[in-house]
Structure 1
């Protein structure tokens, strides 16, 4: 039995889709934890065991982890959380106890790059995510943290600006090159670990994409693929924070985002060498052709 959390989210939904295709050949049953089962398509609900509720809730995870062999763990962002500790470690505490109580063998979690870098302890959301990893590892479960950089898919949040104005923004130095990963590659890495549980102990699995890119590089590639000029505009961290707050993000999470972006500009995502096993396959150009361009046309 494999349990999938956040099955209607960007990464969790892709993990579920992959496992629906691949799990039967491995003799695996699937269970999901979801707040609103109606958000799952009917054909999916027919093929999985559904536990309704939040995976922060002790009673929910107690039911969900009964007879579970493996768990895909993803903490959904809580922009109104009173603190980053409560948003990550606090959210995970009930699950950590349930991992032990139900003797769950393997857990795969969505986390971040940065462990061991000089800025890891002041990287906001990433620092909190790494603390969550430590909590899960302390239970004794076999654990793999997917250590991710920024997502290519985050560019979709700016598809209207890219399409209509030829502009995309970020807070990074225009020439700061760093890894970028497609969420579909992260989901594939998670599914592979959940299906082949020959691994033991705790560790990180970097998902780095095939190349480092700067915002300037990304603008050039988007221009090529979309057939129109796209330029990068750097925004200040103060402006970035103000925009987050204006859209309803709480003070703690806004500060966490700002600290994370500052740390990324200081090399947070650049500390892991790209090995063949860490170099996930989707290039930014391929992602633009297959995901961004159709979204822009729509």
Structure 2
């Protein structure tokens, strides 16, 4: 049996689907099992109950782990006989740097180290920018044709969450990714301005991205969805990525046997959110 934390989230939902499609027994952990929409045959349970008995593989979403406590969850995994842990990490973790200088990388690397210390088999899936980060523009797009944000020319290679789920599921089902940390990207490097333009093309509206100052962006971010420390870290990354195409990782295609989904495909899958 495979246990998936964050099973109704952006990535966990795709992990559940991939495992279910492969015929695996899956237990989906979520805050509200009664409201979870899951594939046929998938059972649901409350995350805080940590029902790991009988599990051989565990998908770890860091957001869930940090809520319930890494020590508690990992100790429970060992006691329950879990053999393999696949963790959703971040490409902010730099393999040749210790300690990590980036706070996002440092936090993920600390959890990776906790997983390694269990002595269980592990795989760390390290994606870069999530395509779902574009959801931060939903309200602006619903309100008008201009998206305001920092560093219009900052280049990312946003990855579809379904591709993360496919790689994570493969790491649980097969042995060839044990001990590996595949870094994942989407198949194309796009600026923020490019991403907004593509959203417009898919939903049939002439959208454009208008750059605001670093200071204005920090104010918005720090009073919204991230801490000031994370806002500063993200803005530094964005500044460094201006007019610098993101290297494209071959790992999605290597692991899954097919090219990664494009950003336009992601928009098509999520188009209803922008209307």
Residues 33 and 51, structure 1, Cα contact 8 Å, conserved in 2:
yes
1:8 aligns with 2:8: yes
- Match for 2:26 among 12, 25, 30? 30
Q: Alignment RMSD, CA only?
A: 3.1
Aligned to 1:95: 73
The one of the two structures with greater contact order (alpha-carbon pairs below 8 A, sep at least 6) is: 1
Uncovered stretches (5+) of structure 2, i.e. residues with no partner: 254-258
Kindly state the Cα deviation for residue 120 of structure 1 after the two structures are TM-superposed: 8.1
Matches within 5 A, 1:45-60: 47-54=41-48, 60=49
Q: Distance in 2 between matches of 1:236 and 1:101?
A: 51
Q: Distance in 2 between matches of 1:169 and 1:92?
A: 37
Uncovered stretches (5+) of structure 1, i.e. residues with no partner: 55-59, 78-85
Residues 159 and 185, structure 2, Cα contact 8 Å, conserved in 1:
yes
Aligned to 1:230: 207
1:70 aligns with 2:57: yes
Residues 174 and 214, structure 1, Cα contact 8 Å, conserved in 2:
yes
* 106 and 169 in structure 1: CA distance in 2 versus 1, 3 angstrom threshold: farther
Aligned to 2:166: 188
Q: Distance in 2 between matches of 1:112 and 1:169?
A: 26
Q: Distance in 2 between matches of 1:203 and 1:272?
A: 22
After TM superposition, the structure 1 stretch with the greater mean CA deviation from structure 2, 237-246 or 108-117, is 237-246
Aligned to 2:187: 210
TM-score (norm 2): 0.82
After TM superposition, the structure 1 stretch with the greater mean CA deviation from structure 2, 173-182 or 208-217, is 173-182
Matches within 5 A, 1:32-181: 32-41=28-37, 47-54=41-48, 60-61=49-50, 64-76=51-63, 87=66, 91-116=69-94, 121-171=100-150, 173-181=151-159
Kindly state the Cα deviation for residue 223 of structure 1 after the two structures are TM-superposed: 3.6
Aligned to 1:57: none
- Match for 1:282 among 251, 261, 265? 261
Residues 163 and 252, structure 2, Cα contact 8 Å, conserved in 1:
no
Q: Distance in 2 between matches of 1:18 and 1:141?
A: 23
SS in 1 for 2:92: coil
TM-score (norm 1): 0.76
How many residues are aligned here?
A: 267
Residues 124 and 258, structure 1, Cα contact 8 Å, conserved in 2:
no
* 261 and 149 in structure 1: CA distance in 2 versus 1, 3 angstrom threshold: farther
Kindly state the Cα deviation for residue 158 of structure 1 after the two structures are TM-superposed: 1.7
Superposed CA deviations along residues 172-203 of structure 1, whole A, max 9, x for unmatched, are: x3223222111111112112222223443x22
Superposed CA deviations along residues 127-154 of structure 1, whole A, max 9, x for unmatched, are: 2112211211222222111111111122
Residues 222 and 228, structure 2, Cα contact 8 Å, conserved in 1:
yes
Q: Distance in 2 between matches of 1:243 and 1:272?
A: 25
Residues 123 and 256, structure 1, Cα contact 8 Å, conserved in 2:
no
Q: Distance in 2 between matches of 1:272 and 1:159?
A: 24
Superposed CA deviations along residues 224-281 of structure 1, whole A, max 9, x for unmatched, are: 333332222334454344334544x68xx342243234235435xx999534334551
